[in-house]
Amino acid sequence: MIIFVILNLGVFTSIVSYYIQYKRAIKYADFYIFKKKYKIDAFVTSFNEDPEIVKTTLISVLIAAKSNCDVFF
């Protein structure tokens, strides 16, 4: 029974920690990116990788930046 309580406490603290980090990241993104209309530079380096993986990574960067950056293939 005590192990169950400890595991639940661990899950609860993980969720709370994730939520706090999420809120901080949103405040940072709102202030530095979305309100001031800055552009994001994202560099994806690849050496001898499958081009499809690199393309997927660049599309993920574009989605994460909410179309606030330019991506060149």
Six token digits for residue 13: 């603290």
Locate tokens 């980090």: which residue? 21
At 52 the pLDDT is 86
Q: Render pLDDT for 7-66 as a digit per residue (tens, 0 to 9).
A: 888 888 999 999 988 888 777 766 666 665 666 677 777 777 788 888 888 888 777 777
The domains of the chain are located at: 1-38, 39-73
Q: What CA–CA distance (Å, rounded) separates 18 from 39?
A: 26
At 33 the pLDDT is 64
Contacts of residue 44, Cβ cutoff 8 Å, sequence gap at least 6: 54, 57, 58, 61
Q: What CA–CA distance (Å, rounded) separates 18 from 24?
A: 10
pTM of the model: 0.39
44: helix, strand or coil: coil
